[in-house]
Amino acid sequence: MFNSVKVNIAVTALMIIAVIMILSTVRDIRATEQKLLAVQKEKATLLSDSISHNLVILMLKNQWQDLQSFMEDQVKESKELKGIRVFLPESGLIVASSEPQDTGGRIHEKDMQIFTKREDADAFLTEKEGQGFASKLTIILNQPVCHKCHGSEKEILGVLALDVSLASVNRTVQEFKREHYTDAIVAFLIMAGGILFVVSMLIDRPIKKMITAFRKIENGDLSARMEEDSGNEFGLMAKSFNSMVTSLEKTKKHVESYHLEQMQKAARLASLGEIISGIAHEIKNPLTGISCAVQIIQSEMKEGDSNREITAEILNQIKRLDRIVKDLLNYARPKPLSFIPYSMQDILEKSLLFVYPEANRQHISITTLIAKDIPEVLMDPDQMQQVFLNLMINAVQAMPAGGGLTISIRVADAREIGADIKNRIESDTILIVSFKDTGEGIEAEHRDSIFDPFFTRKTKGTGLGLSISQRIVQEHGGEITVISEVGSGSIFSILLPVMQSGKKNAALSGAI
C-alpha cells in the first residue's frame, strides 16, 4: 500500500499542505496576539496619562485626601485596570494605592527595576504573582507650580505605576487558537479528501487500467490495448504502449513463423541425417572393397600398361567418394566436443601448414595480423582447426587467378559488434578471427544460403564445409558472419566468447 504512487503523491501533497497550514496558522495567531497585546499596552498608556493628569490636578487643588478614593473609583470603573500605585523614586515606598492595604509597602520588584533602568517611556508586559499585565510607569515631575508645597530640591515627586490585566487578551487568544486550529483541521480534512479523490480519478484509475493491460499481455494476450481517450501524459503513454504491443504482436507472429520453419527444417534435416548416415555406412564398406580390388589389379599390371592410368583415376575417384562419405558422416553424426583452453594463434599456425602449398601454387599471398595479448579460448582444438581449414580452403578456391588472403586475430568489446550478434554471444569480451580474400565475392541472392547443407557453387565438393563450420562455432558459443561483394572479395569472421576465469573453470568442470 505504501509503495502505491497514489498514496505517495497524496501523502507528499498533504504533508506540504499541512506544513503550510501550520506555519500560516501559527503566524496568524502570533500576529493577532501581538496586536491585542499592543492594544493593552496602548490602553495602559492612555489610562496612565489620564490618571497622572488628574492626579496632578488634585495635588494642585490641594485635594490630596481625595487621591485614595479617586484611585479606587478608577479601578472599579474599569474591569481591566487592576492596580494604581504611587511610589517614591528613592525607596520604592508606596504612598498611595487603589488597594489601601498596599500603602506603606514597597512597590513590586519588577516595577522598581524598570524604573531604575529608566525604561518607563513605554508600556511594558510583565508577570506578577502568576498573572500577566500591561504596565506603565509615569514619572510625576516636580514642576514650578509644585515648589510651593514640595520645594525645589527634588526633581521627581513620585512615580505612578499602573497595571492593566491581560486576562481578557489571553482568553481571546485561546479562543482564537481553538477556532483557527479547528478551521485548519477541517480545511485539511476537506483538502485531503479532495486530493485523494483527484489522485484516484486522474492517476489511480489510469494506472489500474495500465496494470490490467500489462497482466493480460504477461499472460500472452497480445490483443490487449490501453484506452487512448485522454490527451494528457497517460494518453501519450497509452499510444506508445499500444504501438509497442502492436510491434510485439507482429514480431511474435514473425518469430512463431520462423520458429515453425526452423522446426520443420530441423525435422527434415534430422530425417535426412538418419538417411545420410545409413547410406554413408552402406557405401563406405563396398567402397573400401572396391578400392582394395582396384589396388590389387593395379599391382598386377606391368609397368607402362595403359590401363594403369585408368586404375589410378578410379582410385582418385574412390578417394573423392571416401571424403564425401566422411563429410556426410561428420554432418549427420558430429563428434562430441572436448573443450580445453587453447591458443587461437597455435590453431592458425597448424592450419596454415596444410594451406601454404596450394596457396603458393596458385600465387596467393597469405598475411597474418595478430594483436598482442590474445587470450586463450575454451575450445576443441581439432574441431576449430577443421573450421579454419574449411574457411581458408574456400578462400583459396575463390581466387583461382591468384590474390591475397589476410587473416587477423583481435579482441573486441561486445559493444563494438551488432546487437543481433551480441545477444547470441554470452560474453563482454569477444575474440574475432577474420579471413579476408580478394576473390570473386558472393552474389547477394546466395549470401543467405551459403551455410545451408549441400549448398555449393563449386563443381567439386559436397556443400557441407560451411554448414559444419557454422555448427562447430555455434557449439563453442560463437557465430560466423560474412561480408561479401561481387568483385571485391569476402570476409568471413569467427566470433567466440572470451570467458572470465570463474566461468572458464566452471565450463571446464562441466566438460570433464
- pLDDT tens column, 219-272: 877 777 777 766 676 777 778 878 888 887 888 788 778 778 767 766 665 666
The CATH number of whichever domain residue 128 belongs to comes to 3.30.450.20
CB 368 within 8 A of CB 405: no
Do both 11 and 146 map to the same domain? yes
Residue 207 lies in a domain: no
Q: Listing from the earlier edge strand, what are the strands of the sheet with 489-497?
A: 364-370, 403-413, 429-437, 489-497, 479-485
For position 432, which CATH number holds? 3.30.565.10
Q: Are residues 81 and 103 in the same domain?
A: yes
Cell 517611556 identifies what position?
121
| pLDDT at 433 (0 to 100) | 94
Provide the terminal-to-terminal Cα distance of the chain, rounded to the nearest Å.
51
431 and 329, same domain (yes or no): no
Is 185 within the bounds of a domain?
A: no
**Residue bearing cell 580390388:** 293
Residues 372, 278 share a domain: no
Residues 374 and 476 in one domain: yes
pTM value?
0.44
Q: For position 403, what pLDDT does the model report?
A: 92
- As a whole-number percent, the residues of the chain with pLDDT over 70 amount to 83
Is residue 495 pLDDT above 70, yes or no? yes
Residues 353 and 495 in one domain: yes
- Alpha helices, DSSP H, located in 301-343: 307-332
CA distance 2 to 488: 65
Q: Judge whether 434 lies within some domain.
A: yes
Query: Which segment of 62-66, 120-124, 293-297 scores lowest on mean pLDDT?
Result: 62-66
Domain final residue, candidates 317, 333, 349: 333
Instruction: State mean pLDDT over 391-402.
Output: 89
Would residue 223 count as lying in a domain?
no
Least reliable range by pLDDT among 25-29, 335-339, 440-444: 335-339
Residues 359 and 329 in one domain: no
CA Rg value for the chain: 55
Claim to verify: residue 11 and residue 25 sit in the same structural domain: yes
State which residues form the domain around 49: 5-172
Domain boundary among 308, 333, 358: 333
Which pLDDT value is given to residue 435?
94
Asked whether residue 424 is domain-assigned, the answer is: yes
CB 80 within 8 A of CB 165: yes
358-378: per-residue pLDDT in tens? 899 999 999 999 998 889 899
pLDDT digits (tens, 9 = 90+) for 424-483: 787 888 899 999 999 888 888 777 778 777 666 665 555 677 888 888 898 888 889 898
- Nearest to residue 433, comparing CAs of 406, 465, 405, 410? 410
187 domain residue, yes or no: no
pLDDT digits (tens, 9 = 90+) for 124-150: 888 888 888 888 888 888 777 676 676
Q: Count the domains in the chain.
A: 3
Select, from the ranges 94-103, 202-211, 270-279, the one with the highest average predicted confidence (pLDDT). 94-103
Q: Are residues 108 and 247 in the same domain?
A: no
Q: What is the pLDDT of residue 332?
A: 58
Instruction: pLDDT band for 203, please (50, 70, 90 cuts).
Output: confident
DSSP category for residue 131: E
Instruction: CATH number of the domain at 290, please.
Output: 1.10.287.130
Same domain, 306 and 345: no
- For β-strands 364-370 and 403-413, DSSP reports them as parallel
Judge whether 450 and 482 are in contact, CB under 8 Å: yes
Roughly what angle, to the nearest 10 degrees, separates helices 205-218 and 233-300?
20
Q: 167 and 291 share a domain?
A: no
Q: Show the beta-strand stretches assigned E in 359-460.
A: 364-370, 377-379, 403-413, 429-437
Tell me, what's the pLDDT at 368? 92
Q: Specify if 88 maps to a domain.
A: yes
Lookup: cell for 160: 505612578
Residues 355 and 323 in one domain: no
CB-neighbour burial class of residue 277 (10 A; exposed 0-12, middle 13-18, buried 19+): middle
| 3-class secondary structure per residue, 41-68 | HHHHHHHHHHHHHHHHHHHHCCCHHHHH
Domain final position from 172, 191, 217: 172
* Confidence check: pLDDT of 152 > 50: yes
Does some domain include residue 206? Answer: no
pLDDT at 367: 93
Q: Would you put residue 129 in left (φ > 0), alpha (ψ -120 to 50) or beta?
A: left
When pLDDT is cut at 50, 70 and 90, the band that residue 334 belongs to is low
